[in-house]
Structure 1
Amino acid sequence: MAMALKEEQPPLGDVREDEGRRLKRREKNRVAAQKSRKRQTRRADLLHEACELLEQRNRTLRTEVDSLSEEQRLLVEALTAHEPQCPIMHCSSTSTCLQPDNMAARCSV
C-alpha cells in the first residue's frame, strides 16, 4: 500500500507573524522610497534654480562683454584718429615733450 506524504504546514500563528513582518517591511520600504523620491525631486529643483541663475548671470556678462567691446572699438577708433595729429608721437625728445607747458602748446586735445 502506498502512503500519501503529508506536508507539514507551519502553525497558523507563525504564518500570521511572518505576514505581519512582511507587511511591516513593505511599509517601511515604501516610506523610504517615498523619502528618497522627495529628496531627489528637491535636489533637481535646486539644480534647476541654480541653472536659471547661472544662465541669467551668463546673459548679463555677455551684455557687458558686448558693451565693453563697443567701448574698446570706439577708443581704438579715437586713438587712431588722434595719432597723426599727436605731437607726443612725433617728438624726438620725450622728456621735453611731456612737460606740461610744452604739451599745452603743442597738443589741443
Structure 2
Amino acid sequence: MQQAQSAVKSAEQQIKEYEANIAKLKQASELSLQEKNKQIAQAQKQIVQLQTDLAEVETTKNTYENQLAAANEQINQLNQTVGDLQNQLWVYRLEEERIAKEKQAKAD
C-alpha cells in the first residue's frame, strides 16, 4: 500500500513537472509568437514604405518621360524650322545668283 502511495506521489510529482514544463513551453511559444508578430508588423511597414517609394519613382519616371517627349517635340519643331530656313536660304541664294547674272548681262 505504501508502495502504491509512493508511486502515486511520484506520478503526481511528474505530472506537476510536466505541467510546469508545458507552461514554460507555452510561455516561450507565446513570446516567440509575439516576436514573430512584431517582425511581421515591421515587414508590413517596410512593404508599405517600399510601395510608397515605388509610387514616387513611377511618378518621377512619368514626369521625366513627359519632359522627354516634350523636349523631343521641341527638337522636331526646331529641326523643321532649320529645314525651312535652309530652304529659304537656298531660294535666296538662287535669287542672288539670278540677280548677279542679270547685272552681269546688262553690264556686258
TM-score range, shorter chain: 0.5 to 0.7
Paired AA for residue 26 in structure 1: I
Paired AA for residue 15 in structure 1: A
| Partner SS state of residue 72, structure 1 | helix
- Alignment of 1:34 with 2:30, yes or no, is yes
CA distance in 2, matches of 1:42, 1:34: 12
Whose helix proportion is higher, 1 or 2? 2
Q: How many equivalent residue pairs?
A: 81
* Overall identity of the aligned pairs, in %: 7
Query: Structure 2 length as normaliser, TM-score?
Result: 0.67
1:1-109 → structure 2 map (5 Å cutoff): 9=4, 11=6, 12-86=8-82
Paired AA for residue 26 in structure 2: R
Query: Structure 1 length as normaliser, TM-score?
Result: 0.66
Unpaired segments ≥5 residues, structure 2: 87-108
Paired AA for residue 44 in structure 1: I
RMSD of aligned alpha carbons: 1.9
Q: Which has the larger radius of gyration?
A: 2
| Partner SS state of residue 81, structure 1 | helix
Unpaired segments ≥5 residues, structure 1: 1-7, 91-109
Greater RCO, CA 8 A, separation 6+: 1
